[in-house]
Amino acid sequence: MDPVRIGVVGCGAIGQAHLSVWKDIEGARIGAVCDAIMDRARETAAEYGCEAFSDVGEMVRSGVIDAVDICTPSGLHARQGLVAADAGLHVLCEKPLDVHADRARELVEACERRGLVLSCVLQRRTYRGPRLVTEACRTGRLGRLLSCSAYIKWWRDQSYYDSSRWRGTWELDGGVLANQALHALDHLIWMAGRVTRVEYAVAETQAHRMEAEDFLMAVVRFECGARGVIEATTCCNPPLCTRIEVFGTEGSAAFDDAAVVHFGYGGADHTDEVSEAEAKLGGRAEAMAISLQGHANIAADFVGAIREGRQPIVTGRDALASVEALRDIYAAAGVGVAA
C-alpha cells in the first residue's frame, strides 16, 4: 500500500513538533509543508525533503499530498480544512477544530458528505486511563453521573501573548478556555456528553494585555444530566496541574493532568487498574513543554483510519462538541466573537 502523503499547514511551534512525529509514523510520508511565511516553509521543506508552499490552496491542488495536517492559528483551521476537503483530501486538525462553531460544523459536514477522514488533536482521548474511566462513565459503572468538573490553573507570561499577533484574539485564538483549557473541556464532554446548558459564566482579562479572557468560571449542564464547574486561568503562578473530577451515584474518579489519581466504584478502589505513567500532558507553564506521545497516537490513528476506511478515535463530531460549548459559554459570559 502506498504511504499516505501528508501536507503540514503551519510550520510554527506545533507544526514543527508534528513534523518530528510524522517522520516516524508507519504508512505516512511528509509530502509538503505550507506556511504563510515562505522562508519558514522553504527551510522546513529542506529539512524534511519535501515541497514548500505559502498557500494552502496551491498545496492541495499540487497533487503531491493525500491529506492535510493543520497547525495554524485556531481561527483558520476550519477554512483551511474546507479548502482541503473540497479538493477531496482527508483532514487532521490541531485543537480546537476552530474557534468559530459555524465554520467548524461546515467542515464536519463537508468531510462527512465526501466520506473523508476528519480528526482533531485531542490527544487525551488516546490515553488508556482516561479511556477506561470514560468507558466506565458511559456504561453506567459510576451510576448516574451527578457532577463533572475541571480546574485549569495555568500560567502564561505576557511575552507568550506578545509572541504572535494571533494569540489571545477573539478572531484567531480565544482566551484560556479556547486554548489552554480546551483539552479539559473536551475531557468533560467525552465523559458526560455535550454541554446542553450554560447556567452561569463569567470571563475576565485579569492579568494580561490581551483581547480575550485569561480567567473564566462557568457552571454547565451536560447531556447526561450532570452539572459541572469549569475554572480556567493563565494567571496562576506557579501553575497547578489540571484537575478533573467526576462522580455519580455509584462511584467517582479524579485526574491530575491526564493521569487517573483516583477511580472507585462498587465500594472498591480501582485506581491501580487504570493508572499509567505516561499520562503527563504538561503545558501548564510553557506552551511547548508537552509530551508528544498523544500526538503520535493521533497521527498513527489518522493514517490507520484512512487506510482501513474506518472512523478515527477522535471524530470531527467529537471535536465539534467542544467548539459549540466554547460558543455557548462565551455567549453566556457576554464575550467572544459574537459579543
Ligand X SMILES: NC(=O)c1ccc[n+]([C@@H]2O[C@H](COP(=O)([O-])OP(=O)(O)OC[C@H]3O[C@@H](n4cnc5c(N)ncnc54)[C@H](O)[C@@H]3O)[C@@H](O)[C@H]2O)c1
Point out which residues bind ligand X (CB under 6 A): 9-15, 34-37, 40, 56, 71-74, 76, 94-95, 121, 123, 164, 179, 287, 290
Residues 6+ apart with CB under 8 A from 103: 78, 79, 82
3-state secondary structure of 201: strand
Nearer of residues 15 and 312 to ligand X, judged by Cβ: 15
Nearer of residues 93 and 116 to ligand X, judged by Cβ: 93
Beta bridge partners of 260: 255
- Give the Cα separation of 30 and 22 in Å (integer): 7
DSSP state of 282: B
Q: How far is the CB of 266 from ligand X (least distance, A)?
A: 34
Q: How far is the CB of 268 from ligand X (least distance, A)?
A: 34
Whether omega for the bond prior to residue 96 falls within 30 degrees of 0, making it cis, is yes
Nearer of residues 71 and 152 to ligand X, judged by Cβ: 71
Nearer of residues 44 and 134 to ligand X, judged by Cβ: 44
Maximum distance among all Cα pairs of the chain, rounded to whole angstroms: 60
How far is the CA of 171 from the CAs of 63, 174, 206, 331, 339, in angstroms?
31, 7, 20, 14, 12
Nearer of residues 164 and 271 to ligand X, judged by Cβ: 164
Q: How far is the CB of 42 from ligand X (least distance, A)?
A: 12
- Give the Cα separation of 121 and 12 in Å (integer): 16
Helix axis angle, 316-333 relative to 101-114, nearest 10°?
A: 160
Q: Whose grid coordinates read 485506581?
A: 271
3-state secondary structure of 316: helix
Nearer of residues 14 and 241 to ligand X, judged by Cβ: 14
Tell me, what amino acid is at 318?
D
Q: Which residue is nearest to ligand X (CB)?
A: 12
Q: How far is the CB of 220 from ligand X (least distance, A)?
A: 21
Q: How far is the CB of 18 from ligand X (least distance, A)?
A: 9
Q: How far is CA 264 from the centre of its chain?
A: 28
Q: How far is the CB of 164 from ligand X (least distance, A)?
A: 4
